[in-house]
Amino acid sequence: MALELYRRKRDFEATREPRGRPARRSRGAGAGHAYVIQKHAARRLHYDLRLEMDGVLKSWAVTRGPSLVAGEKRLAVHVEDHPLDYGGFEGAIPKGQYGGGSVIVWDRGTWRPIGDPHEAYAKGHLEFELLGEKLTGRWHLVRMHGKPREKRENWLLIKADDAAARPEGAADILAERPESVATGRDIAEIGDDPPPRKAEAVSGKRTKAASVKSIPTKPATKPATKAKVAPKAKAAARHCAAPPVVGAVAGPLPAFVAPALASLVRKAPAGRGYVHEIKFDGYRIAARIDRGRVRLFTRTGLDWTDRFGAALARAFAALPATAAMIDGELVVETEGGATSFSALQADLAEGRTDRFRYYAFDLLHLDGWDLRAAPLLARKAALARLMAGVPEPLRLSEHFEEEGAVMLRHACRLSLEGVVSKRRDAPYRSGRTKDWQKSKCSARQEFVIGGYVVSSTSAKAIGSLVLGVYEKGRLRSVGRVGTGFTARVAADLYRRLEPLRRTRSPFAGGLPAEAARGVRHVAPELVAEVEFRSWTADRNLRHASFRGLREDKPATEIVEEGVPDMATRPAKPAVTLTHPDRLYWPDDGVTKEGLADYYAEVWPHMAEHIVARPLALLRCPDGIAETCFFQKHAWRGINRNIRLVPDPHEPGGEPLLAIDDLAGLVALVQSGVLEIHPWGASLAALEQPDTMIFDLDPGDGVAWPSVVALAREIRARLEAAGLAAFVKTSGGKGLHVNVPLVPAAGWDDVKAFAKALAASLAADAPERVVAVAAKAKRPGRIFVDYLRNARGATAVAPYSTRARPGAAVSMPLSWEELGEVPGPAHFTVGNAVARLASLSADPWASFRKAAAKLPAAASGRGGRAKAKR
C-alpha cells in the first residue's frame, strides 16, 4: 500500500494527522525498524500496530489489542500504510473524519525481524521480536486465507512462547498499562483536540505530531502533585541542576539502551589505559528507574522485571535518584562463593528469588543527565556515590588497576569465569567494541541446539544435546554435551525440544553415522550456553558441560567465538559406562559421564595420590540423593580394572582395593564411587606411612578465616620440626594439611607425632582449638583430627569429589593463595579443570620430593616401624 490511499482518506485541513511522505530506507545497525502501537478510540476501541518497512509504517488494526498469552490469536486487520511521522501522533481526530476519535501512543520502540522481512511479508507470516516499553519478546503476524468477495485482509497477531509470555489468567497488559508512553495520559484524557489552523495544515508545521524517529524517550508516568513530592524526589531534582560528571549531556531517560559488549581476546590487555573487573556468570541486566517505577531489561530489551521478584525492584526504587539507567549483571552465588549461571537458571525455573544479587558496574543516565559520553571512570565514580551504603541484593562491582595478566591469573586460579577489561577514558558505546575486552579462564560460548538424544534413565528427559554454530549461513556440528543438566532441566529440555522435532538434519552435510546414532533432529531455534575445555583437532567440543539456555539470544547470531585452541582429547580407557547420563549429583547436573570426563582431565595431577595404595570408597550407585555406603572390600561383579590386594595382617581375610591407572579410576566411576579415600601408605611399604594428615574440622560458629589461620600455624610448627606442609580444601567443611614422609616410621609413631602436635595446639589456644573427638566440645572451636594417621584410617584424596550437594572437590592449593579462597567447597567438578589449566605450576608438584623422615625424638621409638593390629 502507498501513502496515496492514506492521504485520500483524510482532510488535512480538518485533522492534525501528519500528511507525511515515504522516507528513504534507513541504513546502519538498528535503523529502519521503528515500532509503535497506538490506542485508538474510534467507532470502537482498538489498537493500531505499526511496523516500519520500506520507509512507511505497515499497519494493522488489532481489534481486541495484543495478548501476552502464548498462542492466543488476536484479529489484526491490515489497513493502509501510514507515514513514519504518524508514529508520534497523539490527540483527537475530529468526528466525521476517517477514524474519528482519540489516539494515544500506547507503546513504542523497535522491532527486529527474524529472517527476511520482505519475503515473510509476501508469504504472509512475519516473525519478529519487539523491543518496546510495554511489549517485548517474539511475535507472529500470520495472514488468514480470505473468503470470497471479502475486501479486508485479515491477519492474526500471536505471542510466541518465550520468557516475555504470560500464562492464562495472568494480568492483562491492556488493563495493567492503559496509559500513553509519550505523555502518561489515558485515552479518556485526550478529550476534544481542536483542529489545526488552515495555515498550519498547508505549511505542514506540526506542533504536536512528531516523527517516530524523534519520539521522546521519557516513559509514561502521570505527574505527581506538588504536595506529594517525596523528599528523595526533591533531592534528585536539585541534583539535576548540575551535571553529575564532566561530559554528561542533559537529556530524557532512555526507554532502553543496547548494552556495550566486550570483544573476546586471548589475554587481558596490558598498560594503565585499562581497568579490570571480575567477569560474572549471570544475566546482563539494565535497570531503568523512573520516579520509583523499576524495569529490568535483558541485553536484547526483554522486560524480565516480573521474573526477578519484588525485592530487587524495591531495592532499585530505594536508590536516591528520580531517574536512572544502570548497567550490571544479575547472578546467583553458590555456597562456595562463586557465581553460577546454572544455579541462576535453576532459581528462575523454580521461581526462587532470595539468592539473586545484582552487581552494578556502569551508570548511563542520572536525573535528567545522559552520562554515556563521559569517561568510564567518571561514570563509575558517579555510580559509587549513588550506591553508597546500599543493602543487599544490590552490590557495586569494584574495578582493579593491576596489570591485566595479573588480574586474569588471579581470577582463573580461583576458578572464576574471567576478566572484563575496560578502557578507562572511553565513553559508553552500545554494541561490541574494543573499548571493552573479555578474557576467559575457560572456553565458553553459546551453541545452537540441532538435536538431542533421549536419556537412558528416563523416557521423558534428554540425555545429551547435539550442538552447532553458524558458518556462512549454514549450521556446522560441533559435537555433543552430555552433562550439566539437573533432572529438572533434562525434563524441561525434552518438553521444549520434542515439539521442534523434524525428520531432516539441520546440520550442513548431516552427521556422521556414529554421531547420528539415536539423535532426534530439531529445528535450530534454541540456544545453549556451554563451558568446555578446548576444541579437538576435528573441531568438536572437549570436556563440555551445559550451563543453561540463553533465552536472550537469537539462534541465527550464534557463530564460533574467537580463534579456537585445538587439543587432543585425553585417551579414554576401554571401560564401558552403562547409563552414562545417570545423574550422580541431580541438583548440580553432574552425570556419570561428566564425572569420568573430570577425572580424565585431572588424572595427571591426581594419580600419584591414589595409585597403588589401599582405598576406602564411598559408593552412591544411584547418586547422592539415594543410599550411599563405604566399601573397603570387593563386591559382586567388581570391574577387573580394580585390583584386589591381600592384607598381610589378615591372612585369608578379604583383600584390599587398589587401582593402577586411569582405567581403574573410570571403573570406580562406573561403580558409583563418588569419594576416594586412600591410605597414608603405598602398597610397596604398607606399614611405613608416606603421608601424615591433619584434618581441620571447624565446629558450628567458626569463621573460615580462623580455619585458614590455624592451617598456617600448623605449617609453621611442622617446618620448625623439619617437615614440609601442603594444604588443600577438604571439599566439605575445612582444610587438610598433608605432610610427605620418607616411609621409615611406623603407624604408631606417625599417629603419636600428629597427636602431640594437635595437643600442643589445643593447649596453647583452648578457646579455639580442640584435639579430642567429642562433639560436645567442638562448637566454636576447630577439631584437629589426628586420627587419620592410624593403620586403615583414611582421608579424602586430592581432587576427589565429595558426595554432597554442590559436587565440590578436595583441591590442592599453594600457601600463597590460601587466603584468597572463599571457602572449603569453592572448587567443584564444574570449575576445577579451568583452575588447573590456568596454573603455571601444580602447587603440589614437589609433594613427594619434599618428603622427610619423621623426627626420631618425636616418634619416641627411634623411627621403628610398628603396625597397629
Catalytic residues: 279
Shortest CA distance to 735 belongs to which of 713, 718, 756, 764? 713
In whole angstroms, what is the distance from residue 40 CA to residue 34 CA?
19
Cell of 553: 539470544
Are 725 and 838 spatial neighbours (Cβ–Cβ below 8 Å)?
no
Cell of 609: 595420590
In whole angstroms, what is the distance from residue 145 CA to residue 278 CA?
55
Cell of 347: 532459581
In whole angstroms, what is the distance from residue 860 CA to residue 748 CA?
10
Long-range CB contact pairs, 762-769, < 8 A, 24+: 768/702, 768/706, 768/710, 769/710
In whole angstroms, what is the distance from residue 694 CA to residue 155 CA?
74
Cell of 691: 603421608
Are 595 and 609 spatial neighbours (Cβ–Cβ below 8 Å)?
no
Shortest CA distance to 753 belongs to which of 776, 722, 781, 778? 722
Contacts of 335 (CB under 8 A, 6+ apart): 806, 823, 825
Residue type, 617: L
Give residue 216's region: left, alpha or beta (phi > 0; psi -120 to 50). beta
Are 581 and 591 spatial neighbours (Cβ–Cβ below 8 Å)?
yes
Shortest CA distance to 675 belongs to which of 810, 791, 572? 810
Tell the burial category of 621 from Cβ atoms under 10 Å away from its Cβ (0-12, 13-18, 19+): middle
Exposure string over 294-329, b if 16+ CB within 10 A, otherwise e: bbbbbbbbbbbbebbbeebbebbbebbbbbbbbbbb
Determine the length of the chain: 869
Residue 409: enclosing H or E segment and its boundaries? helix 404-413
Strands 431-440 and 443-454: unpaired
Tell the burial category of 200 from Cβ atoms under 10 Å away from its Cβ (0-12, 13-18, 19+): middle
Angstrom CA distances, 299 to 284, 383, 486, stand at 6, 20, 26
Sign of CA dihedral 143, 148, 152, 158: negative
Cell of 728: 588443600
Cell of 439: 578474557
Residue 262, helix vs strand vs coil: strand
Note the helical H segments in 679-770. Answer: 704-720, 747-764
Question: Rounded to 5, what percent of the chain is helix, strand, coil?
Answer: 25, 30, 50
